[in-house]
Amino acid sequence: MIRKRGGPQVFAISGARKGLAEDVAGRQRRYVISMLVRCVAVLAAALLWNVERYVAVVALVLGTFMPYVAVIAANAGRENAPSGPSPFVPVPVRPALGPVIRGDDQAEGVPEDEESGGSSRDSGAR
Q: How far apart are CA 60 and CA 29, in angstroms?
A: 23
Q: What is the pLDDT of residue 50?
A: 92
Model's pTM, two decimal places? Answer: 0.50
The mean pLDDT of 10-31, rounded to a whole number, is 78
- Spell out the alpha helix ranges (H) of the chain: 20-48, 53-74, 112-115
Nearest to 34 by CA among 79, 58, 69, 76: 69
84-109 confidence digits (pLDDT tens)? 666 667 777 877 777 777 766 555 55
Residue 70's contacts (CB-CB under 8 Å, 6 or more residues apart) are 30, 31, 34, 35, 38
pLDDT, greater one: 29 or 91: 29
- DSSP assignment, residue 14? S
What is the pLDDT of the chain when averaged over all its residues?
A: 75
Q: Where are the domains of the chain?
A: 20-74
Q: What is the pLDDT of residue 43?
A: 93
44-63 confidence digits (pLDDT tens)? 999 999 999 999 999 999 99
